Amino acid sequence: MSMPISTPTRRQAARDLWGLLEPIHAVVYFTPEPLEEFRAAGYRGYWMGYFAGRAAPLGGVGADVVHALFYNFAYERVSRALPAAWSFAPPHEALAARTRGSVRALRRALGPAADGPDVARAAELATRAAQSAPLEGRALFAANRSLPVPQEPLAQLWHAATLLREHRGDGHIAALTAAGIGGRESHVLHAIASGIPREVYTPAREFDEAEWTSRRDALNERGLVEDDQLSLRGQQVKSEIEDRTDQLAATAYDALTDGEIDELARLLRPLTRAVVREGDIPLDNPMGLDLRGALDQP
C-alpha cells in the first residue's frame, strides 16, 4: 500500500517527479514545433501563442483571469495577448495546436522510443495520477483536467505531464500567497536563492532593472534578503514554501503505490534526459527547474 501523503518520502517523490515531468510538458514553451503550430493557427508572435495555448482550457477568458491564475506575469504583457488572441483563433484551435506541436517536439527528441512500451506505461501511470488528483482550489488544473484524454500514448503522456504540473503550480501559488509573496516577488526570491541570473527573467517575464530593484528592496524591507542573499528568515520562508508545495503536489500520487511511483520515475528518466539533451529548454530557466541533474543521469 502507498504511504501517507504527509510523509517526507512522498513529498520528495512529488518533487522528483516534477523534475522529470516538467521538461516533457515544457516543450510547448521552448521548442519550435508548437510555435509553428500556433502561427499556423493564426496567433501573432510568441507571447500570443503562449497565453492562448496555456489559457485555452479556461475558454475565451481575458487578461484579468489569466493574470490572476498564472500569477507571475506583468499584467501589461498578458493584456497585450488576451482577449485579442481569440479574435485570431478560438480556444479549441489553441488546444489542438499546442498538443500537435508538443507531440511533434517529443517525437523529435525521443526518436523510435516515442512509440515504445515505456512511453505507453509512463502515460498510463501519469494519467492515473493526474485524473485522481484533487480539484479543490486548483482552477487551472481543473480546467485542464476537464479536457478529453488523448488516446495516442505520447500525446497522453504530454497531457498528463501538463495536468500534473498545473496541479503543482496551483498549489505553489497557494503556498506563495499564504507566505505573502507576490507573483513578481517570487521570481526575485527564487533567483536570489538559486543563483539564477537576473537576465533570465528579462525576456521571460519582462523585468526591467527598476522593477527588479523595487521587488528586491521590498524583500529586503521584510527581512527576507540581506546583501543580495537570503537572510536566515528568507531561507526559512523559502524552505516552507517549497515544502508546502511538495506536500500539496503529493496528493496527486495517492492513486499510485510506492512501487508504481518508483516505476514511473524509472520510465521517465531516459525520456526526460532525451528531451533535455535536445537543448531547446535553457538550463537556466524561469521555471525554477534544475535541468543539469537530468543530464547527469546515467
Task: Check pLDDT > 90 for residue 26.
Answer: yes
At 228-240, the pLDDT tens digits run: 999 999 999 999 9
Half-sphere exposure of 1 (CA within 13 A, CB side): 3
- The pTM for the full model equals 0.93
pLDDT of residue 4: 42
CB-facing half-sphere around the CA of 4: CA atoms within 13 A: 2
Cα 166 to Cα 99, 124, 140, 161: the distances in Å are 16, 18, 6, 9
Q: How far apart are CA 92 and CA 125, in angstroms?
A: 26
CA distances from 213 to 77, 188, 207, 208 (A): 19, 9, 10, 9
Above 50 in pLDDT, residue 194?
yes
What pLDDT, on a 0 to 100 scale, did the predictor assign at position 1? 36
Kindly state the average pLDDT of the residues 48-75. 97
Query: How confident is the model at residue 298, as a pLDDT?
Result: 55
pLDDT of residue 246: 97
Q: What would the pLDDT profile of 203-213 be if each residue is shown by its tens digit?
A: 778 888 999 99
pLDDT of residue 2: 40
Report pLDDT digits (tens) over 248-269: 999 999 999 999 999 999 999 9
What residue spans define the domains of the chain?
Answer: 8-296
- Mean pLDDT of all residues in 172-179: 97
What's the pLDDT score for residue 294?
Answer: 65
- Does the pLDDT of residue 5 top 50, yes or no? no
